[in-house]
A = this chain, B = another copy of it.
Amino acid sequence: MARFFVSEKEMEKDKIILCEEQGKHAKVLRLKEGEEVILSDTVGNEAVCVVDALQGENLYLSVKERRKSLTEPKVKVKVYMALPKADKFEHVVMKATELGASEIITFPTSRSIVKMDEKKLDGKLSRFRKIALSAAEQSGRGIVPEVRYINSYKEALLSAKESDKAILFYENEKSLTLKKTIENNDFKTVSIITGPEGGLDKREVEEAVSLGIEVCTLGSRILRCETAPLCALSAIMYQTGEF
Copies of this protein in the complex: 2
When A138-B222, A220-B71, A223-B98 are in contact, do A230 and B234 touch as well, CB less than 8 Å? yes
Return A153 CB to nearest CB of chain B, in Å. Answer: 24
CA–CA, A218 and B243, complex, Å: 5
CA–CA, A33 and B157, complex, Å: 40
* Beyond known contacts A219-B237, A231-B234: 4 more, CB 8 A cutoff: A99-B227, A99-B231, A179-B238, A230-B234
User: Which A residues have a C-beta under 8 Å from some C-beta of B?
Assistant: 70-71, 73, 95, 98-100, 138-141, 177-179, 216-224, 227, 230-232, 234-235, 237-239, 241-243
Return A222 CB to nearest CB of chain B, in Å. Answer: 5
* Residue pair A243, B179 in contact (C-beta under 8 Å): yes
9 sampled A-B residue pairs with Cβ under 8 A: A71-B221, A98-B224, A100-B219, A139-B221, A140-B221, A178-B238, A219-B242, A234-B235, A238-B239
Return A168 CB to nearest CB of chain B, in Å. Answer: 13
**A223 surroundings in chain B (CB, below 8 A):** 98-99, 139
* Residue pair B217, A179 in contact (C-beta under 8 Å): no
**A140 surroundings in chain B (CB, below 8 A):** 220-222
Q: Which residue of B lies closest to A237 (CB)?
A: B219
Return A86 CB to nearest CB of chain B, in Å. Answer: 15
Return A2 CB to nearest CB of chain B, in Å. Answer: 12
**A227 surroundings in chain B (CB, below 8 A):** 95, 98-99
* Residue pair B98, A221 in contact (C-beta under 8 Å): yes
**A95 surroundings in chain B (CB, below 8 A):** 227
**A239 surroundings in chain B (CB, below 8 A):** 238
The 10 closest A-B pairs by CB, nearest first: A235-B238, A234-B234, A219-B243, A219-B242, A231-B234, A71-B220, A139-B221, A218-B243, A139-B222, A140-B222
